[in-house]
Amino acid sequence: MSPYLYLLLNLGSVSVPLLYSILERKFYFIRYFKIAVISIVSVAVPFLIWDGIFTKNGIWGFDPDYFLGVKAFGMPIEEWLFFFCIPYACLFTHEILKYHLPKFKLSKTITLIISSSLIMIMGLLLILNYGKWYTTINFMLFILLVLYGLKYHLGTLQEYFPSFLVILLPFLLVNGILTGSFIDSSVIWYNDNENLGFRIFTIPLEDFFYAFNMLFPIQLIFNTLKKKFYAEA
């Protein structure tokens, strides 16, 4: 077991996007670094509060063998870094996909079908499992976000759904390791009384929706600030 594992996963996830942001001069994503940080911090704050409450109440927790031992508000410093490193990598991924593959998006009809189907499925699971805190909060937030996206940001949903599928590829690796794949025990453990108890490999199903709930608002804020940036340019 390595106390550096969680730290290395964070740094490894952000290193390539950050280097590419700086060194690649045509796309040059680093010019948006300020608004990227503002977008990420705006969402990181409520998610860190959520994280802290769940940690305190034993809904999830951390194996001390996999982090350095420095904590803030009961959470390892690596967990705090997670909410900055991973969102930056995902924001960068979506933006570079838009830049190089501008047609990489769904039609309005397909977006509406996917969104409606997910809302109905998550709504049913929410009703059947209401009171399991990770499931309840996650699915409620997901439904509200998708409804908001359909009403006010349909174009962004059209672009973001396919990008999110791409983002899920490294997510499966990083989150898989955090939840116990390829290692002796999990970096992050879950109280399965507070979730569906259904896992994809070692990853709780709710984690996929948690990722969307965290990343999609960051993208919406970033898009808004980016438009303002161009308006002022």
Report the pLDDT averaged over residues 226-230: 82
Q: Over the chain, what is the mean pLDDT?
A: 95
List pLDDT tens digits, range 113-153: 999 999 999 999 999 999 999 999 999 999 999 999 999 99
List pLDDT tens digits, range 102-119: 999 999 999 999 999 999
DSSP secondary structure string, the chain? --TTHHHHHHHHHHHHHHHHHHH-TTT-GGGGHHHHHHHHHHHHHHHHHHHHHHHHTTSEEE-GGGS-S-EETTEEHHHHHHHHHHHHHHHHHHHHHHHH-TT-S--HHHHHHHHHHHHHHHHHHHHHTTT-HHHHHHHHHHHHHHHHHHHH-HHHHHHHHHHHHHHHHHHHHHHHHHTTTTSSS-SEEE-GGGS---EETTEEHHHHHHHHHHHHHHHHHHHHHHHHHHHH-
Report the pLDDT averaged over residues 162-178: 96
Whether the per-residue pLDDT at 232 is higher than 50: the answer is no
List pLDDT tens digits, range 19-46: 999 998 888 899 999 999 999 999 999 9
Whether the per-residue pLDDT at 233 is higher than 70: the answer is no
List pLDDT tens digits, range 76-85: 999 999 999 9
Confidence of residue 229 (pLDDT cuts 50, 70, 90): confident
pLDDT of residue 1: 61
pLDDT of residue 12: 95
**How many C-beta atoms lie closer than 10 Å to residue 128's C-beta?**
10
Domain extents in the chain: 5-232
pLDDT of residue 118: 98
